Amino acid sequence: MIFMVASAALLFTILLGLTRAFAGPTVYDRLLAVNNMGTKIVLLIAVIGFLMGRPDFVDISLLYALLNFIGTIAVLRFVKQQRRHADE
């Protein structure tokens, strides 16, 4: 039961992150939304693992947590490069 409530709450949080990613006027809003959604998806996979009786999903969510920041770093480097480009 507790896992069901937790997964419903996480799905709702993902929806909130999605709305910010759709609406967010600046790059940083969307960046935060993407990073937040990555974190929530890591948690969701862990909770789903316990919900479906397969706790080994925790390993998968850990690997996702390791992968999660690559996109964020790519976007941040892009923004930095563009700034430098604009200054020149």
- Region for residue 53 given its phi and psi (left: phi exceeds 0; alpha: psi -120 to 50; beta: otherwise): left
- One residue of 22, 83, 86, 87 binding other proteins per CB under 8 A: 22
- Output the smallest distance, CB 39 to other proteins, in A: 10
Helix (H, G, I), strand (E, B) or coil at 79: helix
Tell me the helices (H) and strands (E) count for the chain, helix number first: 3, 0
Task: Give the interface with other proteins as residue ranges (CB under 8 A).
Answer: 4, 7, 11, 14-15, 18, 21-22, 24, 27, 30-31, 33-34, 37-38, 41, 44-45, 48, 51-53, 57, 60, 63-64, 67-68, 70-71, 74-75, 78, 81-82, 85
